[in-house]
Amino acid sequence: MKIAQMIGYYPNSSARDLKNGESNVIGLLLPDINNTFYSAVVKEIESNLGRLGYRLMIAFSEADEEREKTCIEMLISSRVAGIIYAPVHNLNTGILKAAENFGIPIVQFTSTNKYLTGASKYLIDDNYGAYTAARYVFNMNHSRVLLFESLYNSESSEKAKGFNRAAEESGVMETSSVVFCDTSRDIVSQIIVALTNSRPSAVITSNIMTTIATLRACRRLGFKIPDDINIIAYDDSEWLEFMHIDAIAHPIHDIGREVADLIVGIIKGTIQKNTEIMTMPYLVVRGSVKMVR
């Protein structure tokens, strides 16, 4: 090996894996490259896969059906040992089942394709997370509250279900509601319209995209937080801490370790293929929600 390095040769691990009839590469397919939650989780997954002797190959679908299909085909042709997959559509089921037929196990991460029934799942209890955020706001005597959620989640949003459950328990269903934002259009303008028409005293955002759009909308409207409007953001990050904004956070270190252990365990046959794991988010209070007197 010393001589090989002296002449500028380094082993091709992918070719070596194919020669050995196995791969130590795990594919990770995510919908959004700009999502800070995914960025944090990727770092932890990669670190823990390294601990287990595996490497990570990352692809982004940008929440587009055709791009998602292309990414899946790329991962299959790369002969990955397994795929960690965050679906945004109940589509591309055929090619995913084909991957499983090739012996490539799949772990659905944070969301599910309802037609991919045999794959393992690692989920975040978003119903509980949104319920926790909403109950906190309602217990602070806010009765006009909006949840901003992405339109592509409209049919199966666990966050919307959790929010509505809290609103019903608090008796504010008539004055609080979920607003589904079309992410293919200008989200800031949509949120400005909702804030202007509904006049909420507090809002809950469902992801980093709606959080940023809400903060921009508030700035355009001249709203100060928490003087003019209160907010809880879903998916915590360092910049939310800097801005003193309450947030729903996730145990990132645990998620990275558990996802890595799950996919590798399935590959090695020590964990069943249809395993489901659910992790719980939690509320971080920083003062962006005030008691209504």
Query: For residue range 65-100, what is the model confidence (pLDDT) as tens digits?
Result: 889 899 999 999 999 999 999 987 777 888 888 888
Query: How many Å apart are CA 31 and CA 9, to the nearest integer?
Result: 36
- DSSP string for residues in 76-103: HHTT-SEEEE--SSS--HHHHHHHHHTT
Identify the burial level of 189 via C-beta atoms within 10 angstroms of its C-beta, where 0-12 means exposed, 13-18 middle and 19 or more buried. middle
Whether 289 and 232 have beta carbons less than 8 Å apart is answered as yes
Tokens 């959620």, located at residue:
149
Q: Note the pTM of the prediction, 2 decimals.
A: 0.86
Identify the burial level of 195 via C-beta atoms within 10 angstroms of its C-beta, where 0-12 means exposed, 13-18 middle and 19 or more buried. buried
> Which segments of 155-265 are extended strands (E)?
177-181, 202-205, 230-234, 246-249
Query: How many Å apart are CA 256 and CA 237, to the nearest integer?
Result: 16
In this predicted structure, what is the pLDDT of residue 21? 54
The ranges of the chain annotated as CATH 3.40.50.2300 are: 2-125+251-280, 126-249
Q: Which stretches of the chain score pLDDT less than 70?
A: 1-21
In this predicted structure, what is the pLDDT of residue 116? 86
Query: How many Å apart are CA 178 and CA 194, to the nearest integer?
Result: 10
In this predicted structure, what is the pLDDT of residue 5? 38
For domain 126-249, give the CATH superfamily: Response regulator (3.40.50.2300)
For residue 41, the one-letter residue type is V
In this predicted structure, what is the pLDDT of residue 18? 44
Whether 176 and 167 have beta carbons less than 8 Å apart is answered as yes
User: Is residue 27 classed as helix, strand or coil in its secondary structure?
Assistant: strand
What is the helix (H) or strand (E) element at residue 83, kind and residue range? strand 82-85
- CA 174 to chain CA mean position, Å: 29
Query: For residue range 112-151, what is the model confidence (pLDDT) as tens digits?
Result: 888 888 899 999 999 999 999 999 999 999 999 999 998 8
Polymer length of the chain? 293
For the segment(s) 2-125+251-280, the CATH number from 3.40.50.2300, 3.40.640.10, 3.30.230.10, 3.40.50.300 is 3.40.50.2300
